[in-house]
A and B are shown apart, each in its own frame.
Chain A
């Protein structure tokens, strides 16, 4: 159980860092309310940087449909779960 919690927190940390790096914001500013095209800095250019970061961070390749669907921070978590990432 402890190991499971460790995996979950690591994934969350990685996700927060990925958002912070791609959207050029502090990790503290990354929260559940981040929204594509509404959050300052999360435009289409930053979105592609975010996708590339998520791909490399979690060693996956997001499908184009998921790239288009990834519209918020909680949605990112939900999509990553489909690729076997545990939170």
Chain B
């Protein structure tokens, strides 16, 4: 039970890594606030979380690209709790396009989902955490933010941005006892990669030293470790969870 008595907020919690993180964290005793766009999927995750951990999570349906909705979400969290021990900034979207085919709308959509709200949520969480002079913020970046990839200029920019945010925030928040780290998953078996064509998938597999896709649960375990006191002296790091893809 790494997170007994802890309160955590997970964005993008309705599926993939966020959902797995919610299930893993509740198994470790955390009380959770779960945020996602899809009410139906979020409720399904909440039911699973309650079944696993015995505690009903607080759910917030919110499109993070909507600033007004995000502010309402902050008020909602503030009304629900004055304690926040960890934050998992996981929400994100993937929109691929080759150079020359990238629209302004696409750039705006990706940055307004993957990067801008991440900074706003981090600011909000840090304010709550400052009061207790402790906390752990875990930003979900991507291997693409470190190494880049064809067709992923915008996604890569957003995830490299997440890494930049992590390092700067870690420096600023360390005096308050707040740790900020990023996880850079490799190719994880989630809906996000479901539409990748088979030949491309095979190519990806060949580039993974462990020769297989990662599972969301394998990222979730690292999230819980970073949220816990097992990493109490770790901040400003980008931890690859990629089966040796980035070596």
Contacts and interface: CB of A to CB of B under 8 A. Distances in A.
Interface of A: 45, 48-49, 51-53, 55-56, 59, 61, 63-64
Sort A-B residue pairs by CB-CB distance and give the 3 closest, nearest first. A52-B130, A61-B78, A56-B131
B74 interface: yes
Q: Secondary structure of the B side of the interface?
A: helix
Interface string B170-210: 00100110000000000000000000000000000000000
Contacts of A59: 82
Nearest to B176: A49
B75 interface: yes
A48 B71 contact: no
B78 A64 contact: no
Given A56-B131, A61-B74, A63-B71, A48 B126 contact: yes
B60 to A, nearest CB: 15
Given A45-B175, A61-B78, A51 B71 contact: no
Contacts of B120: 64
Q: Which of B74, B120, B127, B172: most chain A CB closer than 10 A?
A: B127
Contacts of B221: none
Contacts of B124: 61
Interface in B124-166: 124, 126-128, 130-131
Contacts of B130: 48-49, 52
Contacts of A55: 127-128, 131
A61 B127 CA distance: 9
A36 B230 CA distance: 38
A48 B172 CA distance: 11
A61 B35 CA distance: 19
Given A45-B175, A56-B82, A61 B75 contact: yes
A7 to B, nearest CB: 22
B108 interface: no
Contacts of A56: 82, 131
B203 to A, nearest CB: 44
A55 B132 CA distance: 12
A48 B175 contact: no
A51 B124 CA distance: 11
Contacts of B78: 61
Contacts of B168: none
A48 B127 CA distance: 7
B123 interface: yes
23 contacts: A45-B172, A45-B175, A48-B126, A48-B127, A48-B130, A49-B130, A49-B176, A51-B127, A52-B127, A52-B128, A52-B130, A53-B131, A55-B127, A55-B128, A55-B131, A56-B82, A56-B131, A59-B82, A61-B75, A61-B78, A61-B124, A64-B120, A64-B123
Interface string B88-130: 0000000000000000000000000000000010011011101
A45 B75 CA distance: 24
Contacts of A53: 131
A53 B130 CA distance: 9
Nearest to B126: A48
